Amino acid sequence: MSMIRKIIHIDEEKCNGCGACVNACHEGAIGLVNGKAKLMHEHYCDGLGDCLPACPTGAITFVEREAAAYNEQAVLANKQKKMQQEGMRLHGGCPGTRMKMIQHAEPSGVEMASAQAQSRLSQWPVQIKLVPVNAPYFDGARLLIAADCTAYAYAAFHERFIKGHITLVGCPKLDSVDYSDKLTEIIRNNDIQSVTIVRMEVPCCGGLEHAAKIALQQSGKFIPWQVVTISTDGRILE
């Protein structure tokens, strides 16, 4: 049944894909599609707006329009279905905050000896928010833009990604900021040779990938770039 009622509206131009609204929506009405928040089920939205204060970019507002009536029974049924599928109590819609245990086989003594690696970090600071836009180490740099969690998830991160690169890290979900403007200035004002974006498989990491792609476009430069996705159990996903 449709009716004129208050319901959320998501401005995709303002959305940075952080996923905070997905986590804040207890009804499960919002999801991430191609790195953007989207109202997936009108009849799940109760119109109370728990998602509004969670949005760091102001992309969510209220509108009054014809929409499906809020269906509490459908919301409860959906929550129960998800609980059964996951075998655990839900703590929100964001896979980035979902609990799970990960087990790895212990390496042999030989492997342990060869695993005594050295740091490959070649500059400081590394946080996108803190790094100077015109730092001298950007001249001729191969730029690595990595989500905070990637170095913890992927064991050989220093050798595989940091080595030979200038490293920038950030998390749009925790920092509540759109990195695209600063990344644009870094790429536009420096002789960047290539850009590698390393993100986690969780949807909220789409915000970092999106910001980097926007920066590449806005810089006006044609620079080789690639995106590498890491699984939560530490694998590179093809």
pLDDT tens digit string along 101-110? Answer: 546 566 666 5
89, 101, 172 from 77: Cα distances, Å: 14, 27, 32
Query: What pLDDT does residue 90 have?
Result: 42
Question: Between β-strands 225-230 and 236-237, what pairing exists: parallel, antiparallel or unpaired?
Answer: antiparallel
CB contact set of 142 (below 8 Å; sequence gap of 6+): 164, 165, 166, 192, 193, 194, 196
Question: Between β-strands 166-170 and 142-147, what pairing exists: parallel, antiparallel or unpaired?
Answer: parallel
Q: CA nearest 95: which of 49, 176, 52, 31?
A: 31
Query: What pLDDT does residue 156 have?
Result: 93
Query: What pLDDT does residue 123 have?
Result: 92
Helices and strands: H and E segment counts in the chain = 8, 9
Query: What pLDDT does residue 107 have?
Result: 60
All structural domains of the chain? 2-94 (3.30.70.20), 120-237 (3.40.50)
Alpha-carbon Rg for the chain, nearest whole angstrom, is 21
- Low-confidence residues of the chain: pLDDT under 70: 82-116
**pTM beyond 0.95, yes or no:** no
